[in-house]
């Protein structure tokens, strides 16, 4: 006897343009989902358990009391999963759906397989989207499966509960896939509404002020290249420093927003017009805006390796840091034949930068049904 179970596959992301500025209302950013994935395997079980074998966490059991998930062991690495389970559990209960015990296994190729170091492809967002999606797919009736918008909003709320801030741009990439033009919701509004509404579903069904998620198509002749610096970066401290700078140098911050807005707007226009040269120029413009503000704020967005990555990319195109910077990955736009991409990769290697075989994932969160063997027969007889 077999039982339906699911694998939910969620792509990572790369921020192409508009980082930092996207934290502000009405500021656009471009993000791309990438073909490195995090997978969540969910199946009925005798008891609630979570496994992250790559982190050495096996069959961590949990229970939920007063809407709070309690694991049988304390581990900070479970925080995003905890909040995702709590949000999905509450949402399903409001829909009148009984949530029976399940085993959830998380596996990821968003990090370097040799060292385990992160690439900076949005693992916290990906795991949040994966857990939310897996629970909804397993328990929602087949004729009433969740929409991508519902998954996005639930994941965004769970992510906000964990880190208290953020734009949700990485959540959008992992949910929807492809190239996306994104403007953010207001985090304080979402968290306040979550406390005020009678039901979580009321918040999910509301229009979120400021939020927009629209697909983009890049110029046909444009190639996206990705280089990894092998230097770990932490986003939260950089954002905190940036927010301090916003307060004590409002004029410089306003200049940055204006310059970033112009660069991102030009980049979006070049995508819509199929203008590869315009895309390259716009990416350079966005890098310049980030370079100026990082110097004024005293924040090291471009490490020596990221600077080398960008300078080498400028031989045939343009390059910049991706996301908060200070390590992880950089990106480049290159026009022309494959040999130019190969030459850029060769140059990167001489500077200790690892070219990654990354392409844009056209799909976001996807679910595949598989069968769980009869060792779980007690589940149905209980």
In tens digits, the chain (382 residues) has pLDDT values of 346 789 999 999 999 999 888 888 889 999 999 999 999 999 988 899 999 998 888 889 999 888 888 888 888 889 999 999 999 999 999 999 988 999 999 999 888 777 777 888 888 999 999 999 999 999 988 777 889 999 999 999 999 999 888 889 999 999 999 999 999 999 999 999 998 888 999 999 999 999 999 999 999 989 999 999 887 766 667 777 778 887 888 888 889 889 999 999 999 999 999 999 999 999 999 999 988 888 887 888 888 999 999 999 998 899 999 877 677 889 999 987 788 899 999 999 999 999 999 999 999 999 888 765 544 333 333 3
Of the candidates 76, 47, 49, the residue with the CA atom closest to the CA atom of residue 60 = 49
Of the candidates 104, 211, 71, 238, the residue with the CA atom closest to the CA atom of residue 152 = 211
Distance CA 274, CA 219 (A): 4
Distance CA 236, CA 153 (A): 21
Residues 40, 137 contacting (CB under 8 angstroms): no
Distance CA 359, CA 226 (A): 9
| pLDDT per position as a tens digit, 228-265 | 988 776 666 777 777 888 788 888 888 988 999 999 99
| pLDDT per position as a tens digit, 346-364 | 999 999 999 999 999 999 9
Output phi, psi for 251, to 5 deg: -65, -45
* CA–CA distances in Å: residue 355 to residues 96, 135, 347: 49, 35, 10
Distance CA 292, CA 154 (A): 36
Distance CA 77, CA 39 (A): 16
Distance CA 293, CA 303 (A): 15
Say what the pTM is. Answer: 0.91
3-state secondary structure of 33: strand
| pLDDT per position as a tens digit, 46-93 | 899 999 998 888 889 999 888 888 888 888 889 999 999 999 999 999
Burial class (CB in 10 A: 0-12, 13-18, 19+), 108: buried
């Amino acid at each position: 006897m077999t039982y339906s179970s699911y694998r939910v596959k969620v792509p990572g992301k790369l921020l192409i343009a508009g980082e930092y500025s996207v934290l502000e209302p009405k500021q656009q950013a471009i993000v791309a989902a990438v073909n490195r994935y995090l997978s969540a395997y969910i199946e009925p079980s005798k008891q609630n358990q979570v496994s992250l074998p790559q982190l050495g966490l096996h069959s961590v059991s949990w229970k939920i009391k007063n809407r709070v998930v309690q694991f049988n062991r304390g581990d900070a690495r479970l925080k995003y999963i905890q909040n995702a389970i709590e949000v999905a559990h509450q949402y399903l209960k409001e829909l009148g759906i009984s949530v029976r015990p399940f085993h959830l296994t998380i596996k990821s190729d968003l990090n370097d397989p040799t060292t385990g170091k992160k690439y900076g492809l949005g693992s916290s967002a990906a795991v949040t989207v994966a857990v939310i999606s897996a629970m909804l797919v397993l328990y929602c009736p087949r004729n009433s499966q969740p929409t991508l918008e519902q998954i996005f909003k639930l994941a965004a709320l769970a992510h906000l509960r964990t880190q208290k801030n953020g734009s949700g741009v990485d959540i959008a990439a992992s949910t929807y896939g492809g190239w996306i033009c994104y403007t953010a919701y207001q985090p304080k509004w979402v968290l306040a509404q979550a406390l005020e509404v009678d039901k979580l579903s009321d918040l999910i069904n509301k229009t979120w002020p400021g939020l927009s998620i629209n697909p983009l198509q890049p110029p046909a002749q444009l190639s996206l290249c990705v280089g990894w610096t092998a230097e770990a970066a932490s986003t939260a401290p950089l954002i905190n420093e940036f927010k301090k700078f916003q307060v004590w140098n409002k004029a410089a911050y306003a200049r940055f927003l204006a310059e970033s807005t112009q660069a991102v707007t030009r980049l979006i226009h070049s995508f819509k017009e199929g203008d590869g040269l315009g895309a390259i120029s716009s990416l350079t413009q966005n890098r310049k805006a980030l370079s100026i503000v990082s110097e004024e704020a005293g924040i090291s967005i471009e490490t020596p390796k990221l600077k080398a990555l960008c300078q080498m990319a400028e031989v045939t195109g343009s390059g910049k840091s991706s996301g908060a910077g200070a390590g992880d990955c950089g990106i480049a736009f290159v026009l022309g034949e494959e040999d130019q991409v190969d030459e850029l990769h060769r140059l990167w290697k001489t500077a200790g930068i690892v070219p990654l075989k990354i392409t844009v994932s056209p799909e976001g969160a996807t679910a595949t049904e598989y069968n769980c063997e009869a060792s779980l027969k007690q589940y149905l007889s209980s």
